C-alpha cells in the first residue's frame, strides 16, 4: 500500500518541476522569494544563516552521532542512510535541470557562502526532509511536530538566505520524503532477504 505522504511527496516534486516550465509560475516563484526574504536584522540573519545548515551533510553526521551515542543505533543508521540518499539524489538531479540560483539570476542578497551546484532541487531541504522522514515513525506526536517544524525552518531559511526559490524547496522536501521511504523499503527488503 502506498502512503498518502509518498504520493504527496511525488506530486510535490513533479508539480515543482512543471512550474519550472511556466513563465507565470516562475514570476510567482520570484515574488514568493522576495516576500520570504524580508530582512529580520543582524540577529535574525545570524540565526537563520546558521540554522540553515540543519539540512547539511554535517547535520546528517551530527544527528546520527548523537543518536548512536544515546543508544539509538537503528535510528542513527536510518538518519545516516536516508539523509545520504536524499543528498545524493538532489545532487544528481541538479545538473539535469541547471536552474540558476536567485542571487545569480535576479541579484537576490545572499547571506551564506556561495553553495555548489544549481538551484533545483534544494539539497539542504532534501536532507532535512529525509532525516525527518527517517525519524518520525518511531516518535511521539509532539516530537513529530518538532521534527516537522525543523524541516520547515530549513525550507524557509534556504529562501531567506537567497540561495533557493520556493519551488526548489518544495521539490527538495518531496525528494527528502521519497528518500526516507526508499531507505526504509530497502532496509526492510534486506531484512527479509537475510531471514531466508
> What's the whole-number mean pLDDT along residues 75-81?
95
With cell 539523509, the residue in question is 83
- Residues 110 and 46: their CA atoms lie apart, in Å, by 12
pTM: 0.93
Q: Tens digit of pLDDT for each residue in 15-50?
A: 999 998 899 988 999 999 888 888 889 999 999 999
Residue 190 pLDDT greater than 90, yes or no: no
* Confidence (pLDDT) at 38: 83
* Confidence (pLDDT) at 108: 83
- Residues 143 and 84: their CA atoms lie apart, in Å, by 22
Chain centroid to CA 80: 14
The DSSP H or E segment spanning 189 is helix 166-195
Helix (H, G, I), strand (E, B) or coil at 16: helix
C-alpha cell read off for 128: 532535512
* Confidence (pLDDT) at 133: 93
C-alpha cell read off for 119: 538551484
- Residues 50 and 113: their CA atoms lie apart, in Å, by 11
- Residues 84 and 73: their CA atoms lie apart, in Å, by 16
Residue 1 pLDDT greater than 60, yes or no: no
Q: Tens digit of pLDDT for each residue in 2-12?
A: 688 899 999 99
Q: What percent of the chain has pLDDT over 70?
A: 99
- Residues 51 and 142: their CA atoms lie apart, in Å, by 21
* Confidence (pLDDT) at 192: 84
When the pLDDT of each residue in the chain is averaged and rounded to a whole number, the result is 92
Q: Tens digit of pLDDT for each residue in 128-146?
A: 999 999 998 878 888 889 9
Per domain, the residue ranges of the chain are 41-195
Amino acid at each position: 500500500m502506498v502512503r498518502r505522504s509518498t504520493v504527496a511527496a511525488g506530486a510535490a516534486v513533479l508539480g515543482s518541476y512543471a512550474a519550472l516550465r511556466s513563465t507565470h509560475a516562475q514570476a510567482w516563484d520570484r515574488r514568493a522569494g522576495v516576500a520570504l526574504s524580508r530582512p529580520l536584522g543582524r540577529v535574525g540573519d545570524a540565526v537563520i544563516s546558521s540554522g540553515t545548515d540543519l539540512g547539511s551533510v554535517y547535520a546528517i553526521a551530527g544527528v546520527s552521532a548523537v543518536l548512536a551515542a544515546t543508544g539509538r543505533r537503528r535510528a542513527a543508521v536510518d538518519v545516516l542512510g536516508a539523509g545520504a540518499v536524499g543528498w545524493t539524489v538532489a545532487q544528481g538531479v541538479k545538473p539535469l535541470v541547471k536552474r540558476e540560483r536567485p542571487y545569480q539570476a535576479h541579484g537576490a542578497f545572499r547571506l551564506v557562502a556561495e553553495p555548489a551546484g544549481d538551484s533545483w532541487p534544494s539539497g539542504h531541504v532534501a536532507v532535512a526532509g529525509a532525516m525527518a522522514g527517517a525519524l518520525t515513525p518511531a516518535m511521539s506526536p509532539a516530537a513529530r511536530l518538532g521534527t516537522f517544524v525543523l524541516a520547515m525552518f530549513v525550507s524557509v531559511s534556504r529562501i531567506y538566505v537567497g540561495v533557493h526559490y520556493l519551488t526548489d524547496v518544495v521539490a527538495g522536501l518531496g525528494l527528502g520524503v521519497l528518500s526516507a521511504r526508499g531507505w526504509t523499503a530497502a532496509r526492510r527488503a534486506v531484512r527479509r532477504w537475510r531471514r531466508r
